[in-house]
Amino acid sequence: MHIAIIGTGNVGSTLGAAFDKTGHQVSFGARDPAKRPGAVSIGDAVRASEVVVLATPWDALSDVIAATGPMEGKTVIDAMNPLLPGLVLAVGHSDSGAETLQRLLPKAHVVKCFNTVGVEVMANPKVAGRAATMLLCGDDAGARAKVASLARGLGFDAVELGGLRNARLLEPVAVLWIHLALVQKLGRRIALRLEGEGAKPAAIAPSSPARKVAVLGAGNIGAGLVRAWAKAGHAVTVGARSPGDAEVQALAKETGAKVASVRDAVEAGDVVAIAIPAQAVDSLVGLPFAGKTVIDCTNHVGPGFALSFGHSTSWAEELAKKLPGARVFKSFNAQGAENLAAPHYTTGPAANFFCGDDTTGREVVRQLVADVGFAPVFAGPLANARLLEPLMMVWVTAARATGSRSLGFQLLRE
């Protein structure tokens, strides 16, 4: 296949070398070909290609589009991320860089891909012996399948996530990768993998120190946390609007947890996990959360199955405003209840990401994440819930695309 690479920086050069190595014919298009040995003009590269990879800085997009022309009928891979200084996305939540690109190229078939890992993983997608997952999306099924095939040819485990609007999820995933690799200093040879084979229950050992934990809600997520934390030896209280409810009582009998009203449960716990529908959280306002470590396990989803918050704030940040004095963390929101029951795979535990501002509470949450059987991954301050909340949507979309809810994120790391 003839592939044009527009952009001769690290990303473009690495992808070009990788495609060349796997037998494709690669042309590098540059605004000034004389400065890049072997490059041709952008127009010439595009005209000769079947697939065009855009790997330029976001702020150069308008100049690049002027040079490429409309690219009618071509598959255009958007490998860019619309970043501003401070690791902030220029567009997000209700739009994405990829959708912006598609509007600029209405007759091209834009596919978002190759934006969620660094060049070290692009050059070698096997990390710690496992193929990194490459998430991609686009409106044209044929173009999407073509790009998925290219990604698999490089060695990635490619997962198609449907239409291009899902780039609103993949661009935050890219920022999450940057935070983990560079800010949390996990290194650039890290990558997400969606694991879906060999799920099994965690072998939970007694935890130390044992903590007083309140779980508000006894639905799938709440019940899963109650079972895991009770098994780990924590003193668990289930907070329920109807403590006498048969299902709540059955959960208490199964686990040895106590049952109390929501207020009494909050008062009893040093740690409070909120696992009720996000739209019901206002009922908690005014309860004694001050001084407590609060784990927000909820996702605020609105009409059209879209996140209600994102980009400039997150639901976790809005929750923190409603619970003044609480040490709020985001966690247990980016997977299904199936993961809580069986977080281990043949290759190791699934990752569970968490973020929050309080340093003391951070270690408490890390312990509780591990006590469920996950590999805890700290993702930075509470503002990074803007990155973890879209990860839930990635999980749901991937589960639908693969036809299985037995999926877990693993963080591959060398």
pLDDT in tens, 114-125: 999 999 999 999
Task: Supply the pLDDT for residue 364.
Answer: 98
Residues 97 and 33 in one domain: yes
**Do 167 and 137 touch, CB atoms closer than 8 A?**
yes
Residues 231 and 344 in one domain: yes
Read off the DSSP letter of residue 200.
Answer: B
| C-alpha closest to that of 257 among 289, 234, 224 | 234
| CATH number of the domain that residue 216 is part of | 3.40.50.720
Mean pLDDT, range 133-152, rounded to an integer: 98
| C-alpha closest to that of 239 among 211, 258, 256, 212 | 258
Task: Supply the pLDDT for residue 175.
Answer: 97
**Do 243 and 260 touch, CB atoms closer than 8 A?**
yes
Q: Which helix (H) or strand (E) holds 388?
A: helix 385-402
Residue 296 structure tokens: 């927000």
Task: Supply the pLDDT for residue 99.
Answer: 98
Residues 181 and 218 in one domain: no
| C-alpha closest to that of 319 among 354, 283, 291 | 283
Residue 188 has pLDDT above 90, yes or no: yes
User: Within 10 A of 3 (CB to CB), how many other CB atoms are there?
Assistant: 23
Residues 340 and 381 in one domain: yes
DSSP one-letter string for 129-157: TEEPEEEEEES-HHHHHHHHHHHHHHT-E
Task: Supply the pLDDT for residue 306.
Answer: 92
Residue 213 structure tokens: 């934990």
**What's the pLDDT tens digit per position in 217-249?**
999 999 999 999 999 999 999 999 999 999 999
d(CA 297, CA 77): 34
**What's the pLDDT tens digit per position in 358-393?**
999 999 999 999 999 999 999 999 999 999 999 999
Residues 127 and 182 in one domain: yes
Residues 342 and 389 in one domain: yes
Residues of the chain above pLDDT 70, percent:
100
Mean pLDDT, range 176-185, rounded to an integer: 97
Residues 135 and 255 in one domain: no
For CA atoms 209, 212, 215, 216, give the dihedral sign.
negative
Read off the DSSP letter of residue 280.
Answer: G
Residues 218 and 167 in one domain: no
Task: Supply the pLDDT for residue 205.
Answer: 86
d(CA 136, CA 149): 11
Task: Supply the pLDDT for residue 203.
Answer: 83
d(CA 72, CA 189): 36
Q: Provide the 3-class DSSP secondary structure of residue 168.
A: helix
**How confident is residue 8, by pLDDT bands cut at 50, 70 and 90?**
confident
What's the domain range around 7? 2-186
**In terms of DSSP bridges, do strands 293-296 and 327-330 run parallel, antiparallel, or are they unpaired?**
parallel
CB within 8 Å of 346: residues ≥ 6 apart: 197, 198
**Do 326 and 307 touch, CB atoms closer than 8 A?**
no
Q: Write the CA distances from 91 to 67, 81, 167, 362, integer angstroms.
A: 23, 10, 11, 30
Residue 197 has pLDDT above 80, yes or no: no
Residues 251 and 370 in one domain: yes
196: in domain? no
Residues 180 and 228 in one domain: no
Mean pLDDT, range 66-81, rounded to an integer: 96
Residues 26 and 127 in one domain: yes
User: Within 10 A of 285 (CB to CB), how many other CB atoms are there?
Assistant: 11
Residues 173 and 220 in one domain: no
In this structure, what is the dihedral angle of CA atoms 147, 151, 153, 158, given to the nearest 10 degrees?
Answer: -100
**What's the pLDDT tens digit per position in 20-53?**
999 999 999 998 888 888 899 999 999 999 999 9
d(CA 396, CA 321): 27
| C-alpha closest to that of 73 among 118, 28, 140 | 140
Residues of the chain above pLDDT 90, percent:
92
| Percent helix, strand and coil across the chain, each to the nearest 5 | 40, 25, 35
d(CA 194, CA 155): 15
Q: How many domains does the chain have?
A: 2
119: in domain? yes
**Do 178 and 203 touch, CB atoms closer than 8 A?**
no
